[in-house]
Structure 1
């Protein structure tokens, strides 16, 4: 009999369930129960990620995608990443720049919620993943901000004062 890995041991009989069924069962759990179970999955994935077979890595990725906020909260509160996140000098300008780079002409493969989750993990933002994704979708830089980004100064019309 094959020895179960740490990830398989989280599930009854060591059998990893279908991810959609699992996500539905997570949604039915109490908030505290869901949080504890997800933390176990996240901790195991951090410790043995490279040893997991691709199917189990895909399962974990799908669980994270199902509740990106829970994963961001875990990384911020329970790992060193929460203590080494970078604080931006101009967070609003950063978000507006992301709108230009990632939201305009985006394809179906562009996930603003995935981008927002990555930002909340790496940078010191207080917004929730969903709010940040909405801001990236809507926030547009002003012409003055574009000039600042390009390193130019504002051009004034000398003829009209």
Structure 2
């Protein structure tokens, strides 16, 4: 009976150690995900700033193109060449903006995934902490029960020796 309790105690302690190790691993994973989220947020902010710069540049270029059209009568051939160049440049900027917007959408999706994953992992850690507390309580109860059984066994041995 004592051996069985000791064996159960050993199993409970082993489970407790395993859960503690898993909790530590999950905490490390959470920290890594938090770092990754911070990195994604920094990338997103940088992309957002660049997008704003590109929009301002595009607006400036469009205003410049309008001015060139007003001057077209004086410098028709030169203006056509410049408009073509500016238009191509604006298209490259628009393409770059589209690529940035696509990247921002990807980063937002990754960010949301990371947030969801972090919440799931935090929930797992809370569950593991509850399990650890439950097993710790069991270990204490089993240790008390073992002590009671030892006392009873000692008492029986004393009575038997009389």
Greater share of helix residues, 1 or 2? 2
TM-score (norm. length: structure 1):
0.20
Larger C-alpha radius of gyration, 1 or 2? 2
TM-score between the two structures when normalised by the length of structure 2:
0.20
The answer to which structure, 1 or 2, has the higher relative contact order (CA under 8 A, 6+ apart) is: 2
